[in-house]
Structure 1
């Protein structure tokens, strides 16, 4: 499937104030053509406000947005020609799937033959070729979301904005639709800007992730970069699980799965710390151990169940070890 090679966005000093409250604070961001960029952060971090400014639904207090080098700050939302997918689907219940998907083309006055061909193409893209005659109420949540995606892509927008689109789905279905969404992005090549608070979702789909806090960009990078080399305590703690260790006046982050655990005196190499198992939680594929270490916060250690070589019990003394590369020094927040 071939789409026009547009969709590069440049955000410069982008700011949004609601009275005295600064929701988005001087954000600079380059969004590459055709990439899958995720805005990730907790509630109130500014990610949805940022998306709504890009969409044109919120006025900009300061700064500018360039689309392929041209300012769109004063361009109204309906003239930006961006696609939009919401959590609530926003499908027309009285229309069939085909009518929903073709709606944006119909209101643009496209010829009927062109609309039919494009709807066929979109239904093939989202694997709903046999559901065109159905109404939204006859579809599952995942199918409805795919219809909404097909409708948003039907007019070949340069940018597709997705605001928590999988939030209404259960976990199993979310994982399935994540894989479908990533494949659709690969096929169409459209710039996707995706908002979520779900860390696993961001890690599994994104080319790059923007971690946001208090209206600002906390850190930007690929999923691997952000997980393996977080720069701040907030980034390390929000994206995945982390232990925080203070050594020599500096703070280090240490992922739970990167720690070796063994009965006291039985660890390979030198033990870094010795503690007592406070609790063990069995999670199927892994066991989570909370280790009480005197003078420190409890340390979490995650061990794959299948490779757990030791029979460990609550109250047992254990040694903890890790490689020098496993602990990452953080910048000061």
Structure 2
């Protein structure tokens, strides 16, 4: 089977993996659309990397199937799946130049020399490293190494690119830069990207859809906005962004900190939902974070934009809290 000749849609059907008595992945069903940027998001031990490694063919599934454009690849060896792969540690060949690293996957596929040279030049332009082709990996920054690894993985035009925490080794500023570059490259090449991370902001900013995982299972799937605005479970609401959890007669609700307004005690009028005492105030430049102690509830976090703050509140001050009713999202019992 030549996977490079197929489209990039994947279907996971009842996919499971056990290591002895431990179930790392439990009967996962998931459709991945051709050309989308899909992120597997979850804490350590949630099963996201094991799921990715089964897609890659590096780990055999205990049960279930993987279909690429309708054809099963569950028993196809990793090298025959022809997927691209990018790791956190880059995995570049230290003795080769940037051009040689990018050419390697084409050479082992015995492509003509002229085609290899043209494709490497195209890849250098794609990742904006035209002037670095002669350098060795130890002469590059972390961000440049990651772009070389990405270009090498895309050089042979794989139907699917798998990325396992690829930005984890970069500092925060560089991560933000490479995120933008990665999004741009995805838009330009149109390859299906399947990205693993535990970083919520990274998932929100880069993905077409996010799969939230916990304990080897899918907790919720949706677009970044869908998952942020309408989380289905307490885990989803708490893991993707920050949420306050309020108990009402009809169940449990999530309320995002930025959707709460504060006023001095007695000034919120009919809009007041509850009252409390400011326990702490933290300045973050663009925002102020208030922790408000409310009787009968867990402490409530309120995030307020500094630029539109007409009034700041001090520790120990009594305040009223208000929000629109639709800001509260009812959660499933799970």
Alpha-carbon distance between aligned partners in 1 of 2:247 and 2:51, rounded to the nearest angstrom: 35
Alpha-carbon distance between aligned partners in 2 of 1:295 and 1:124, rounded to the nearest angstrom: 59
Q: Which residue of 2 aligns with 1:154?
A: 155
Q: Which residue of 2 aligns with 1:282?
A: 283
The change in CA–CA distance for 1:101 and 1:285 in structure 2 (over 3 A counts) is same
Q: Which residue of 1 aligns with 2:29?
A: 28
Give the C-alpha shift of residue 262 in structure 1. 1.1
- Is 1:299 equivalent to 2:300 in the alignment? yes
Q: Which residue of 2 aligns with 1:118?
A: 119
Q: Which residue of 2 aligns with 1:93?
A: 94
Q: Which residue of 2 aligns with 1:62?
A: 63
Give the C-alpha shift of residue 302 in structure 1. 0.1
| DSSP-derived class of the 2:53 partner | helix
Q: Which residue of 2 aligns with 1:330?
A: 331
Cα pair 2:37 2:207 within 8 Å, conserved: yes
Q: Which residue of 1 aligns with 2:183?
A: 182
Cα pair 2:227 2:236 within 8 Å, conserved: yes
Give the C-alpha shift of residue 308 in structure 1. 1.0
| DSSP-derived class of the 1:320 partner | strand
| DSSP-derived class of the 2:232 partner | coil
| DSSP-derived class of the 1:296 partner | coil
Q: Which residue of 2 aligns with 1:191?
A: 192
Alpha-carbon distance between aligned partners in 2 of 1:270 and 1:203, rounded to the nearest angstrom: 31
Q: Which residue of 2 aligns with 1:53?
A: 54
Alpha-carbon distance between aligned partners in 1 of 2:6 and 2:322, rounded to the nearest angstrom: 50
- Is 1:170 equivalent to 2:163 in the alignment? no
Cα pair 2:90 2:146 within 8 Å, conserved: yes
- Is 1:131 equivalent to 2:132 in the alignment? yes
Give the C-alpha shift of residue 249 in structure 1. 4.0
Cα pair 2:287 2:305 within 8 Å, conserved: yes
Alpha-carbon distance between aligned partners in 2 of 1:58 and 1:103, rounded to the nearest angstrom: 24
TM-score by length of structure 2 reads: 0.98
Cα pair 1:5 1:33 within 8 Å, conserved: no
Map of 1:68-83 to 2, 5 A cutoff? 68-83=69-84
Cα pair 1:260 1:267 within 8 Å, conserved: no
| DSSP-derived class of the 2:325 partner | coil
The change in CA–CA distance for 1:288 and 1:5 in structure 2 (over 3 A counts) is farther
Alpha-carbon distance between aligned partners in 2 of 1:331 and 1:178, rounded to the nearest angstrom: 33
Alpha-carbon distance between aligned partners in 1 of 2:242 and 2:163, rounded to the nearest angstrom: 26
Give the C-alpha shift of residue 5 in structure 1. 7.1
Unaligned runs of 5+ in 2: none
| DSSP-derived class of the 1:218 partner | strand
Alpha-carbon distance between aligned partners in 1 of 2:64 and 2:37, rounded to the nearest angstrom: 23
Give the C-alpha shift of residue 311 in structure 1. 2.6
Cα pair 2:85 2:153 within 8 Å, conserved: yes
Give the C-alpha shift of residue 107 in structure 1. 1.0
RMSD: 1.0
Alpha-carbon distance between aligned partners in 2 of 1:310 and 1:5, rounded to the nearest angstrom: 59
